[in-house]
Amino acid sequence: MLPVLSRAERRRIEKIIYKTNDKEHARRLTAILMLHQGQTVSMVHQLTAAARSSIQRWLSWYQECGISGLESKQRGRFCSLPYQQIRLILELLIQFSPEDFGYQRSRWSSELFASLIHRLCPELNIAASTIRRWLPKMGIVWRRAAPTLHIRDPHRDEKMALINNALQSHSINEPVFYVDEADIDLNPKIGADWMRRHQQKRIPTPGKNEKHYVAGALNSQTGKVIYTTGLSKDSDLFIQLLEKLKRHYRRAKKIILVLDNYVIHKSQKTQVWLKNNPKFELLFQPVYSPWVNRIELLWRSMHEMVTRNHRCRAMWELLQKVKYFLDHVSPFAIAAQNK
């Protein structure tokens, strides 16, 4: 005689049946529910296509161990390898290069992992195919590495202190600008886009590339964008931008510029112009630190919205779209996030 099945127990069984991916587990639980509803073993046999002996066995498992007694056992052979120990070794190895262990190889492979693990722990004879199957389960994936530089600006802290102090003391009389230049290519920058599977979208290119350049200044407080364009990225383009800033901010006692170490910012022609216009103060960002200059976010938005995958056939058409973007993006909201 079966004991009365409580409402909570029945709901728990129904939830497991609904969520489990194990069909055999669901069939065993369904059989127990049917038996508790008063159906005979013969009726359950007809509805579930399970043998009567199997149904009797499931019932005894449930009476002895409850719901847990009906769970399916893991199929296949029992893992004889110490998974946790090998996992710790692999997580440690990926922090190094094979060259650190004397191998003439710059990247890891599953075969190299297996060989080194066997060398470090002779009692662990693991196959490369096993490691290849375990790595994704451990969250270790094969993907492209990111380049970086070990070079550090020895004066980085001093430069960043000057930039931060200027940003904190920003005022109408002493505005601070992020300044940089961007390249405009007639050959479109190719980027991802929505398209049908197996039907790659085609972007026509003019073949012969043409280049134009934009010099921009982003107000760190208001997000206002001032820019100028030219055929060459030279000192004249930079000075042309400075002249435009001078006209727009006549009442400013000092104009502070945060910019990179590009040659046109330090050329002799630029130095002569700055000597005749002492209200400009240049703060150079640390080398190899492009993220300091927040106008890079403006250029990224411009390329994403205008130049990437564009279909312009002439440079004047592309420049028209670039100027429209720069005229309407001001004020650039990201500038205000530097605080």
- Single-letter code of the amino acid located at 316: W
Look up residue 84 and give its amino acid: Q
In terms of Cβ atoms closer than 10 Å to its own Cβ (0-12, 13-18, 19+), residue 44 is buried
Distance CA 328, CA 306 (A): 13
Structural tokens at position 107: 């990247």
For 152, the 3-state DSSP assignment is coil
pLDDT by residue for the chain (339 residues), tens only, comes to 566 778 888 888 888 888 888 888 889 889 888 888 888 888 888 888 889 899 888 888 888 888 888 887 766 555 567 888 888 999 999 999 999 999 989 999 999 999 999 998 888 888 999 999 989 988 888 888 877 766 788 899 999 999 999 999 999 999 999 999 999 999 998 988 888 888 888 998 887 899 999 999 999 999 999 999 999 999 999 999 999 999 999 999 999 999 999 999 999 999 999 999 999 999 999 988 888 999 999 999 999 999 999 999 999 999 999 999 999 998 897 654 544
Q: Which CATH architecture has domain 156-338?
A: 2-Layer Sandwich (3.30)
Residue with tokens 């991916």, as numbered in its chain: 21
Where along the chain do the CATH 3.30.420.10 domains lie? 156-338
Contacts of 13 (CB under 8 A, 6+ apart): 29, 32, 33, 67
Distance of CA 210 to the CA centre of its chain: 32
Q: What is the pTM of this model?
A: 0.64
Question: 3-state DSSP call for residue 295?
Answer: helix
Q: Residue 38: left if φ>0, alpha if ψ -120 to 50, beta else—which one?
A: left
Which residues are within 8 A (CB) of 186 and not within 5 positions of it... i.e. 6 or more apart? 206, 209, 210, 211, 312, 314, 315, 318
